[in-house]
Every structure is written in structure tokens, then in C-alpha cells.
Structure 1
Amino acid sequence: MIIVMKAHATAAEIGEVLNLIEEQGMRAHISRGEERTIIGVIGDERHLDPQQWTALPGVEEAMRVLRPYKLASRDFQQKNTIIDVNGVKIGGDAVVVMAGPCSVESREQILETAHAVKAAGATVLRGGAFKPRTSPYSFQGLGEEGLKYLAEAREETGLPIITEVMGVEDLDLVCEYADILQIGARNMQNYPLLKAVGRTNKPVLLKRGLSATIEEWLLAAEYILSEGNYQVMLCERGIRTYEKMTRNTFDLNAIAVLKELTHLPVIADPSHGVGKWQYVTPVARGAVATGADGLIIEVHPDPAHAWSDGGQSLTPENFARLMDDVERITHAIGRRLLRSRDEAAHIAA
């Protein structure tokens, strides 16, 4: 059973719940987030009545959840979670597109890309300042310098920024600049990092591990949720299979499965899913048609000379065509594409 305390529950109210759990012969797992406290009841809970707990002062909700992932499950929350990032709502009727380069290479590069993706309608800017690379000799990112360039791009365009955090030691620094924290595929089961971002008040985009099952992925999300941070998005970015014609095998099935199993927003990353720019738009169309709440797309003003992932990056012109294609798909399935204000104003004119 999970007991969710109200946002402003007092220490005395929490203590009363903990005492009652012990009196019932159970153990409590308590997670204190910035917004609220969540108490997991550990033991044979079959004789417990959820209404017994909701009657206690300070308790918002108590419920049984049979799946191993509790807080991420639709059994816990039927209604879709909607995450508000500086006015950009992710998880609702509108499909959101995040776009930008794989790596922040220079001030000029990120500013040029930011203006280009906003002009095409993107509502979130992506860019890597810390890069986990397979080879230790590959470009690892500009670090804080890259974060500062991203912040400047946000100031100029108004786009919220998403960037990757690679370790607990970098979290405070990245939180100073980022609007959304990205947990990369290689860190999906970095449990200390998951717990640490769970104790922040920042939205988190959790990418699927290279060979992770859907249940393992949801349990990774559970680590974040159990620390009190409910602002979690799941990002399908392809899994490793025997197929070598594409960088990864993009798991379109996962989007449909997740929309049934969880209330969390689902984001698709066709750039990493296929690894070849010419396939990004077709896979993006399929992801939105299947139910994805958003896309994260790599865009570079000069992909042939990109410092990382140039082969899967779209030019601004190709990205604009992707946006038009995606918009037609959203209309066909009864949704809409959320476009940046500048682009929307341009269309209206």
C-alpha cells in the first residue's frame, strides 16, 4: 500500500501514520520530496483498509497497487500526468516537440539552432553540455560553459531547456541552469542518481536503457517518484537488437504499452532510435500516431560538421518539414501540435 501525504502535512501527522503502520506489524518506507511525503507500507497488507488511512489528518490518498511499480502505475493514478515546464504543458492533448543539437559546441551554434527550431515551432530546446560517449577519446561536452550558452539561448528565445545530468556530483550545477533534467540511457539504472533527481523539484526525462525491458524502465522511474518528484517523463529511444541497418531498433510497441500501463507522459526520440537522419521523420510520424505525448529531435545547422551524432541530425529545413508532417498526424488522431508563440503568430499572419 502507498500512502500519499498532503503537500503541507505536519511532522505530527506523518508521525501518526508511521506509528499506526508499526502497530499493524508493518514497516514503513518514507520518501520526503520537496512537494510531499510518500509512505510505502511494507509487509502483508491484505487486511488493511485504505479508507482507514485516508481518514487520518494530513493523508491525501491511500491505495493498494499490485504491480511492482506502484506510483508509476495507472492503478495509482488513472488521469494522465501533465507536467508544466514554464508554461509548456507536457502530457495533455497537445504534442510537444523538443529540438536542438546533440552537443552544445559553441555560443554561435546553440543560438543559431535555438532560433531555427523555435521558428519551426519547437517549444523546448535540447542540447548536451555533459556527454556520455562510448569512447573516452570522443568529445565529452563543454560542461558549465555549455550550460551558460544554453541559458543565454533560453533568454533570447524563451524556450525552456533540457539537458543531461550524468552524475550526482553534477546535479546541483545542472539544476542551476536546466528546466528539465535528462537521464540518459546509460544511466537508467544509476540508482543514486535517480534518487537524487527524485529529491529535486525539476521535471525529469528518463530515457530507456539500451537493453531494458519496459518493466525495468518503469521501476527505474519508480525510484524518482518514490523520492517525491512526480514530474517524470519516459523517453523511448530505441533498444539494442541484432539489426545493424539502424543505430538502434525503435520500439514503437513500447509507446502503446506505456500509455496503457502508466499515467506518465511518453516522449519519443527517433533520432537515437534510428541513428540516420532520413528515417527520423517517418519514425516520428509513427510515434505520434501511436500515442507519444512529445518528440525530442536532434537538429544541427551543419550536420556534416557536427561534433557528435551528425548522421542522425536534421537540418533546420528538414526539421521544419518534420513539424508540418507531425502536425498533420496530430489532427488525424484528434490531437494538436503545440507550437512556439513566434511560429504560431507567423502562421496566423
Structure 2
Amino acid sequence: MVIVMNPTATAEQIKRVIGRVHNVGLRTHIVEGEFRTIIGIIGDKKTIMSLAVEALEGVEKAVPISSSYKLVSRDFHPQSSVVDVDGVKIGGGALVVMGGPCAVESREQLLEAAEIVKAGGAQFLRGGAYKPRTSPYAFQGLEEEGLVYLAEAKAATGLKIVTEVTDANAVDLVANYADMLQIGARNMQNFHLLRAVGRSSKPVLLKRGLSATIEEWLHAAEYIVNEGNYNVVLCERGIRTYEEYTRNTLDLSAVGALKHLSHLPVIVDPSHGTGKWHLVRPMSMAAVAAGADGLMIEVHPNPAEALSDGPQSLNPKNYMSLMNDVYKLSEFLKTQSE
């Protein structure tokens, strides 16, 4: 349930309502809107329904939430959220781009990639220091050494760092280097890890699971937000279907669906979504047109020599061309909506 307070509700009236909720053993999540305060209530349904909060002064109405994911639903938070990652805002209307190699392979490779990503106008450098791979014989990443290189690349370029954390015990370590913690597709339902990043102060990028429904994805986000971390961004990266030509099937309808169901920002990863570099441009353009708040694009100085995901990585020339096009499209769409 959400309690919508009157625009004229006083601080004392809001405090009284919150106290009433806490007194019966329920938890609250407060959203301070521009004109009014919304109080989300979490706990036993019967206890919630017995509160009769609409009789309290300052309450405009109480609205039941039918979905089982409460905190990430638009019913709870009608306004679209903006996630601030150390000054870079995701969801604020401007297109945000995260670019870089799938894996941190060496200091030289990463610094070269970072300079390319920066020159194209992206705000984030992506790169995996820990790589959960399908095969145990595939390159698994440089681990903390890779994190050190990411920090060095940030110092050299000013790019924010987003990188994957794969283990709950490593959250604090990765958070020491990264500006944003990524939960990869294979870990979308690793609930222990979701709770751990939910207790972190760092924003979280939550990728969709390999075969996850939108509802399962939102429930995963709920695990994070329920721990107190509201700074969650959803990333559509394709799902497994019967199609074999592409690596995955990029579900761009998820962008519109999530915008309807949830207040969280949504970005799209066309690199993993297709697995083919020549499909990254058209799917990036389509994602921007569909209303995505950002893109995550794999970029490598020399994709032919990449240790991971070379066939879906853009070379510097193709990356520069794409960035020119997506920013032009984004600006055009903004003028049309004004």
C-alpha cells in the first residue's frame, strides 16, 4: 500500500502517520515528491489493511498495490527516478553511454579503450575484471589487478567506472574501485548478492537474466531496493529464444513495458543482445527511439584480438560513427517531444 499525503500536510502529520505504521510492526519507504510525500508500506497484508490510515490528518488517500514488487513499481513511485552516479544522471532525459571492452585484458588495452570511449562522448567506461564465463577454460578476468587498471583509466580520462561484481564477499572490494556495481545476467537471481549490493552505497546496474521474464527481473530489483539502495538501473541485454542467428533476442519492447510498470531508469546493451557488431548500430538507434535512457556498448581497440566477445565489439571507427548517430537521434527526439 502507498499512503499519499496532502500537498498541505505538515511535517508533524507525516511523522504521525509513519509512527502509526511503525507501531504495528510495518516498515515504511518515504518518497519526497515535488508537491507531496508518498509513504510506502511494506509488511503483512492483513496488518496493512487494518491500519485505517485514511482517517489520519494530512492523508489524502491510501492506494493498495496489487503487484508483488512494491518499491520498484510506478504505483509506489509515480515519478520516473533519476540515478545520480557521481554527477552523471541516468534517467534525466539526456542519453548516457557506457562503452568499453567486455574484459580488462591488460593495462595498455584498457587505457587505449578508455581514450577511445572518452573521445566518442561516453560518460562511463565498462570493463570486466571478474568474468563469469560459460566455460571454465575461458578467460576469467584479471580480478583485482583489473580493478586497479580501471581506476587508473578513470584518473586518466574522468570516465565513471561500471564493472561487474560476481560474489557477495567481493562487493566492498569492487565498490572501492567502481562508481557503479553491475549485476550480470547470470547473477540476476543470486539473491544473496542482490541483498549485498542493496546494502552498498554504490548505484547498481541490474542486467536481465538469460531467460528472465520482466516480472522476475523487477522482483530482482526489488531485492536490492528493499535493502535500502534505491539507485538501481535496469539493463535489457537480450533473452534466450529459439533464434540461432543472433546470440540473444534483444527485447526492445521491455523498454516500454518497464517504463509503464516501474520508475527505474532503463538502458539497453545491443552488443550482448545481438552478438554481432554489425547489428549494434541499428539496435542502438532502435533502443534510443524506444525511449531507453542509455546504452551499454562493447568497444575494443582491436576486436579481432579480444580475449572475450570480439565478434560483438565495435572497433574505434565504427564506435565513433555510432556515437555521432545516436546523439543526433537523441537530440532530435527531444525536440519532437518539447
Q: Same fold (TM over 0.5)?
A: yes
Structure 1 residue 145 corresponds to structure 2 residue 136: no
Q: Per-residue deviation at 1:79? A: 1.2
Rounded Cα–Cα distance in structure 2 between residues aligned with 1:170 and 1:189: 17
Task: Provide the rounded CA distance (Å) in 1 between the counterparts of 2:197 and 2:247.
Answer: 29
Matched, 1:41 2:43: yes
**Alpha-carbon distance between aligned partners in 2 of 1:173 and 1:62, rounded to the nearest angstrom:** 42
Question: Bigger relative contact order, structure 1 or 2, given CA contacts below 8 A and separation 6+?
Answer: 1
Q: Secondary structure at the match of 2:205?
A: strand
Instruction: Measure how far apart 1:211 and its partner are.
Output: 0.4
Post-superposition offset of 1:19: 5.4
Deviations 1:74-124 (A, max 9, x none): 111111111111211100110100000000001111111101110010111
> Which residue is 2:242 aligned to?
242
What CA distance in whole angstroms lies between the structure 1 residues aligned with 2:295 and 2:95?
8
Counterparts of 2:238 and 2:185 in 1: how far apart (Å)? 10
Distance in 2, matches of 1:197 and 1:48, equals 32
**Is contact 2:21–2:27 with CA below 8 Å preserved after alignment?**
no
| CA distance in structure 2 between the aligned counterparts of 1:247 and 1:167, rounded to whole angstroms | 25
Q: Which residue of 2 aligns with 1:98?
A: 98
Please name the residue that 1:225 is paired with.
225
Q: Cα distance 1:46–1:192, how it changes in 2: closer, same or farther (>3 A)? A: same
Which residue of structure 1 lines up, in the alignment, with residue 67 of structure 2? 67
Aligned mate of 1:20, from 23, 28, 31: 23
Preserved CA contact (<8 Å) 1:74 1:263:
yes
Please report the TM-score for the alignment, with normalisation by the length of structure 2.
Answer: 0.87
In structure 1, the gaps of 5 or more residues are 5-11, 23-27, 32-36, 337-349
Verify the 8 A CA contact 2:40 2:76 in the aligned structure 1. Answer: no
Q: In structure 2, give the amino acid aligned to 1:180.
A: M
| TM-score, normalised via structure 1 length | 0.85
Percent of residue pairs identical: 59
Kept in 2, the 8 Å contact 1:95–1:335? The answer is no
Within 2, Cα distance between the matches of 1:107 and 1:127?
Answer: 12
Q: Equivalent residue of 2:98, what SS?
A: strand
Closer, same or farther: CA 67–53 of 1 in aligned 2, 3 Å: farther
The letter of the residue matching 1:48 is L
The SS at the match of 2:49 is coil
Secondary structure in structure 1 of the residue aligned to 2:95: strand
Structure 1 residues 174, 19: closer, same or farther in 2, change over 3 A? closer
Tell me if the contact between 1:21 and 1:41 (Cα under 8 Å) persists in the aligned partners.
Answer: no
Instruction: Give distance in 2, aligned partners of 1:244 and 1:292.
Output: 25
Please, which runs of 5 or more residues in structure 2 have no aligned partner? 5-14, 30-38
1:260 Cα offset (Å): 1.0
Q: Which residue of 2 aligns with 1:314?
A: 314
Q: CA RMSD in A?
A: 2.6
In structure 2, do the counterparts of structure 1 residues 216 and 55 end up closer, same or farther at CA, with 3 Å as the change threshold?
A: same
User: Quick check: 323-332 or 258-267, which moved more?
Assistant: 323-332
Change (3 A) 1:312 1:55: same
